[in-house]
Amino acid sequence: MDDFQTALADLQAQHLLRQRRIVDGPQGPLLQVDGKSYLAFCSNDYLGLANHPALLAAAQAGMQQFGMGAAASALISGHSAAHEMLEQELAAFVEMPRALYFSNGYMANLGVIAALTGPGDTVFGDRLNHASLIDGARLSRADFKVYPHGDTATLARLLAKCHSRRKLVVTDAVFSMDGDIAPLAALLDLCERHDAWLLVDDAHGFGVLGTQGRGSLRHFSLRSERLIYMGTLGKAAGVAGAFVAASDNLIAWLLQRARTYMFTTGNPALLATAASASLKLIAAEPWRRTRLQELGAYLHQALRGLPWPLAASITAIHPLLVGDNQTVQALAQLLRAQSVWVPAICPPTVPRGTARLRISLSALHTEAHIDQLAQALGAAATALTRTAP
């Protein structure tokens, strides 16, 4: 027990101790947290759909028809007509032959990587990939090679000297803590030349990028039998769950071998009916994506005078690169004191020395919200530079 106490005290001393806050009421730009109202820039509900009445109504209708729990794994009796319909809609939406609905993105990544690769194979991953892609590679027991962020030249060298039976490149499409986009066309080109598969994790691009929000592959107009697409439904889609889309054969194989699909209880059908409703809104309401672009440009203008740079981004993720853990924690705290909530992101979520405020935008934010954030950040920056040694 003492071990844990010491380890926790150590985290606290390094300003790395994480804490949860208790949110009351639905998600949105304004949040009730620990009994107080906050202007929030901390969610992945990029399109502002998490509390949309059409989604709530679809969930209610789903509950009426299918009840609450799915009661078994999908391969036993947990795969409902609502799940079946959602999978067909998802495949059509991302313009791929077939889709498989998973409980969430973490499980999808673990399941796919471990089902496609094993000992003797090699997985290649960008250094800034999401934890679930890293864990999937470890779980697979394949060789795991990490290339520097966005470095396709290094990846090309690694692929060229690899003689594994099967090669799989895995990448975030939109990097979750940076908001930048992977060079997907170049990655696919390398995969074509080196006979490798490409798994694209579009957790932050699905709904946000591409015509009608169809995602990163559409953004770059990419199509290939080598592509395996993973999209999540808990972020821009505002619901929960995830899906993998690929060729018929590949999905048929996942159905037989993805352990995180086979050995877990199906998500409630009401989540599938809600996700179907979300897909319709994502396609039918381009104004949500237009707003994200307008607000992003406005944010970059509004934060120009700060001592820290805001990384360039055309996505909904705009990191303010502060550097050290202590400063970023102090900054977040000064913002909270002004009723503004922006999460401080520290190692191990990001590399050491690159702690940041992760400002994420929603289509439901307004210019006035951003003015308020800019003002609070300006005041916090002044307070911090005054107290600096």
Written as one string, the DSSP assignment of 110-150 is HHHHHHH--TT-EEEEETT--HHHHHHHHHHTSEEEEE-TT
Tell me if 176 contacts ligand PLP by CB under 6 A.
yes
Asked about 235 being catalytic, the answer comes back as: yes
CB 155 within 8 A of CB 127: no
CB 289 within 8 A of CB 213: yes
Tell me if 155 contacts ligand PLP by CB under 6 A.
no
By CB under 6 A, name the one of 203, 228, 236, 295 that touches ligand PLP. Answer: 203
- Residue closest to ligand PLP when measured from CB atoms: 105
Residues 264-303 that bind ligand PLP (CB under 6 A): none
Asked about 176 being catalytic, the answer comes back as: yes
By CB under 6 A, name the one of 198, 201, 345, 363 that touches ligand PLP. Answer: 201
By CB under 6 A, name the one of 27, 43, 80, 104 that touches ligand PLP. Answer: 104
Q: How far is CA 185 from the centre of its chain?
A: 20
Measured CA distances, 214 to 5, 61, 199, 260, 292 (Å): 47, 25, 17, 25, 15
Q: Which long-range contacts (CB under 8 A, 24 or more apart) does 11-20 make?
A: 14/325, 15/325, 15/326, 15/329, 15/346, 16/325, 16/346, 16/347
By CB under 6 A, name the one of 172, 178, 180, 285 that touches ligand PLP. Answer: 172
Backbone angles phi, psi at 359, to 5 degrees: -85, 120
Question: Exposure pattern of 57-66 as b/e (b: 16+ CB <10 Å)?
Answer: ebbeebeeeb
Q: Which of 43, 80, 132, 176 is catalytic?
A: 176
Beta pairing class for 30-33 and 23-24: antiparallel
Tell me if 105 contacts ligand PLP by CB under 6 A.
yes
By CB under 6 A, name the one of 78, 179, 234, 238 that touches ligand PLP. Answer: 234
Tell me if 358 contacts ligand PLP by CB under 6 A.
no
Q: Which is nearer to ligand PLP, 105 or 296 (CB)?
A: 105
Q: How far is CA 129 from the centre of its chain?
A: 10
Nearest distance in Å: CB 234, ligand PLP: 5
Q: Which is nearer to ligand PLP, 244 or 250 (CB)?
A: 244
Give dist(CA 362, CA 44) in Å, integer: 8
Q: Which stretch binds ligand PLP (CB under 6 A): 30-38, 71-79, 102-110, 216-224?
A: 102-110
Nearest distance in Å: CB 353, ligand PLP: 22
Q: What residue type is assigned to position 164 of the chain?
A: S
Tell me if 140 contacts ligand PLP by CB under 6 A.
no
Asked about 362 being catalytic, the answer comes back as: no
Residues acting as catalytic residues: 176, 204, 235
> Which residues contribute to the site for ligand PLP (CB under 6 A)?
104-106, 109, 130, 132, 172, 176, 201, 203-204, 232, 234, 242
